[in-house]
Chains A and B, each alone.
Chain A
Amino acid sequence: MYERKRHARDINEKSTWQELTVGAEIYEPATSLLVNTGEWRVNRPVFLEEKCKQCMLCFLYCPDSSVPVKDSKRLDFDYMHCKGCGICMTVCPFDAIKMVKEGAE
């Protein structure tokens, strides 16, 4: 009658109690990728690609893995998970990251 969902992608804020997993167990890795935890960010880092020398310090220091890297190059921020702490801006030796108020241009 009611079917429990097994995958995190099938469970959301509309799911009924019957659809949740027993004990809220999670049966797959990396489910945090599905959850927007960046929504309470106050300050937003902006990536200035022309100044970036790809030193990867921001990637190393980011406490929330919000600096995606592909083929040895950092990409733009993962704003779904970035909390706007500004550590990346502080450690960047090339002023390639600036912080702006969330919502500002």
Chain B
Amino acid sequence: MIRDRLSGNAAVALAMKQINPDVVGAFPITPSTEIPEHFSQYVADGEVGTEFIAVESEHSAMSTCIGASAAGARAMTASSSAGLAYMYELLYVAASMRLPIVMTVANRALSGPININNDHSDSMGARDSGWIQMYAETNQEAYDNLIQAVIISERSRLPVMCCQDGFITSHGVSNIELLEDEVVREFVGEYEPENYLLKHENPLAVGPYGTSPYYMEVKREQAQAMKDSMPIILDVGRKYAELTGRSYKFFEEYMMDDADVAIVVMGSSAGTGKEAVDRLRAEGQRVGLIKLRTFRPFPRRPLAAAMCKVKAVAIMDKAESFSNSGGPLFNEARNSLYDLPAKPFAINYIYGLGGRDIRVEDYYNIFKELYIVLENDDPSDVYRYVGVRDSRFVDEEQRMVKEVYRPGAAKSYGQNREEYEV
């Protein structure tokens, strides 16, 4: 075990060096630019055997990975925001061809207005492309997820997107425990696909035209692969825990066992959330947090069971979906509760768009609002924003920041929002 301090991008680039993929095709885009930058230095210094292809666009980056992977190579790339959006067409192709491509994403808002800071709108836009998606809270998790992703991807034959929060973890330097190069190389092993284009013993054609009598069966088979990836993700997490002592499942539960109310959140904001949980716990409030790691496959049943430990959950979306019914995480997490006889109230908070900070105080307010929902026995409007300036609530927000919730107090809060609901 090596102790170091690295930015998330440097950690991910180092993980790529240790994985030593056969082909990397990448194009720079903020905030993931440093990943191909660091990695191409490893290539120039002869520290990896990788064929690094400096492509002219992200469309070509993913096309390169698809071609390389179909040919039998271990292929990786990195992207963000508009770059990821420019890959969009090929993301579906990679997934339907069942190619184990691993992409590291430093999440960034999509334009417009043009913005380079973090939210999850880029990868959320690709949520239906058939890729496994994992989100990291810390640099350590970004590093750990990427190493595991190689095996998860190859065993499930699905591409994997490893997301971290742009600038927050991608550029923030923090302490990290690294594995030795040879330990990583042994863990990921050699990539030995059964069929590939350069295997002369078996002729192979990939990416055929799927006419309507076949397309739907191909998609159903792909959906099964996503289901079947769930035990693989757990198994790889177990093996990684044996190696490192750091355990990874679909989500992490923080102070959930005796909690009344909880937050469900992905990515770096979970760290701030845990701080809020710690401080409120010190005041005797029984609050908890669930940090979702795998958004695809969506761990419907286990997540629902975890949320059912509490009476009200705030489900946090760092992406709008303009559905008029909440963000993508909210809709899926809340949906997973539907069949259960006893379920918590589930409230959505859109937060952190375009790099808007979420503070410990914001979480205080969210927990307060959850207690108020419980006290009123009424969720009021479940589709809410936090951290946005709103003329209707300016006075109220200031009051809420000052007051710590006490049972019986501020009963009206949350209710008066309903009158604005359309």
Decide: B204 and A13 in contact? CB cutoff 8 A. no
Taking residues whose C-beta sits less than 8 angstroms from the other chain, chain A's interface range is: 10 to 19
Residue of A nearest to B194 (CB): A22
Decide: A22 and B98 in contact? CB cutoff 8 A. yes
Indicate whether B3 reaches chain A with its CB closer than 8 angstroms: no
Beta-carbon contacts under 8 Å, B107-157 to A: 157
Given A15-B217, A20-B214, A20-B217, decide whether A25 and B205 contact each other with a Cβ distance below 8 A: yes
With a cutoff of 8 Å between Cβ atoms, the chain A residues found around residue B204 in the complex are 25-27
The 9 closest A-B pairs by CB, nearest first: A23-B98, A17-B217, A26-B205, A17-B220, A13-B213, A23-B97, A17-B221, A29-B203, A24-B218
With a cutoff of 8 Å between Cβ atoms, the chain B residues found around residue A24 in the complex are 96-97, 207-208, 210, 214, 218
With a cutoff of 8 Å between Cβ atoms, the chain A residues found around residue B213 in the complex are 13
Beta-carbon contacts under 8 Å, B213-233 to A: 213-214, 216-218, 220-221, 224
* Residue from A16, A22, A28 having most chain B Cβ neighbours under 10 A: A22
With a cutoff of 8 Å between Cβ atoms, the chain B residues found around residue A23 in the complex are 96-99, 157, 206, 218
* Residue from B157, B220, B221 having most chain A Cβ neighbours under 10 A: B221
Decide: B195 and A25 in contact? CB cutoff 8 A. yes
Contact partner of A18 among B206, B208, B216, B221, CB < 8 A?
Answer: B221
Taking residues whose C-beta sits less than 8 angstroms from the other chain, chain B's interface range is: 20 to 34
Decide: B221 and A22 in contact? CB cutoff 8 A. yes
Flag B196-211 by CB within 8 Å of A: 1 or 0 each.
Answer: 0000001111111010
A84 to chain B, nearest CB (A): 20
Contact partner of B206 among A25, A29, A31, CB < 8 A?
Answer: A25
Decide: B218 and A27 in contact? CB cutoff 8 A. no
Decide: A22 and B220 in contact? CB cutoff 8 A. no
With a cutoff of 8 Å between Cβ atoms, the chain B residues found around residue A20 in the complex are 214, 217-218, 221
Beta-carbon contacts under 8 Å, A25-75 to B: 25-29, 31
State in angstroms the CA–CA spacing of A71 and B195 once bound together.
37
With a cutoff of 8 Å between Cβ atoms, the chain B residues found around residue A15 in the complex are 217
Decide: A16 and B195 in contact? CB cutoff 8 A. no
11 pairs from A and B in contact (CB 8 Å cutoff)? A17-B224, A20-B214, A20-B218, A20-B221, A23-B97, A23-B218, A24-B210, A25-B97, A27-B203, A27-B204, A29-B203
Give the dominant DSSP class at B's interface.
loop
State in angstroms the CA–CA spacing of A75 and B97 once bound together.
39
State in angstroms the CA–CA spacing of A31 and B203 once bound together.
11
Residue of A nearest to B220 (CB): A17
With a cutoff of 8 Å between Cβ atoms, the chain B residues found around residue A27 in the complex are 195, 202-204
Decide: A16 and B217 in contact? CB cutoff 8 A. yes
Decide: B208 and A26 in contact? CB cutoff 8 A. yes
* Residue from A13, A17, A27 having most chain B Cβ neighbours under 10 A: A17
Contact partner of A22 among B157, B203, B216, CB < 8 A?
Answer: B157
With a cutoff of 8 Å between Cβ atoms, the chain A residues found around residue B220 in the complex are 17
With a cutoff of 8 Å between Cβ atoms, the chain A residues found around residue B216 in the complex are 17
State in angstroms the CA–CA spacing of A23 and B215 once bound together.
11
Residue of A nearest to B206 (CB): A25
B90 to chain A, nearest CB (A): 14
B200 to chain A, nearest CB (A): 13
A25 to chain B, nearest CB (A): 6
Residue of B nearest to A23 (CB): B98
Given A20-B214, A29-B203, 18 new contacts (CB under 8 A): A13-B214, A17-B216, A17-B217, A17-B220, A17-B221, A17-B224, A20-B221, A22-B98, A23-B96, A23-B99, A23-B157, A23-B218, A24-B210, A25-B97, A25-B205, A26-B208, A27-B195, A27-B202
State in angstroms the CA–CA spacing of A26 and B203 once bound together.
8
Residue of A nearest to B217 (CB): A17
Residue of A nearest to B97 (CB): A23
B66 to chain A, nearest CB (A): 11
With a cutoff of 8 Å between Cβ atoms, the chain B residues found around residue A28 in the complex are 203
With a cutoff of 8 Å between Cβ atoms, the chain A residues found around residue B98 in the complex are 22-23
With a cutoff of 8 Å between Cβ atoms, the chain A residues found around residue B206 in the complex are 23, 25-26
With a cutoff of 8 Å between Cβ atoms, the chain A residues found around residue B218 in the complex are 17, 20, 23-24
State in angstroms the CA–CA spacing of A41 and B115 once bound together.
53
State in angstroms the CA–CA spacing of A5 and B203 once bound together.
16
State in angstroms the CA–CA spacing of A24 and B220 once bound together.
12
A38 to chain B, nearest CB (A): 15
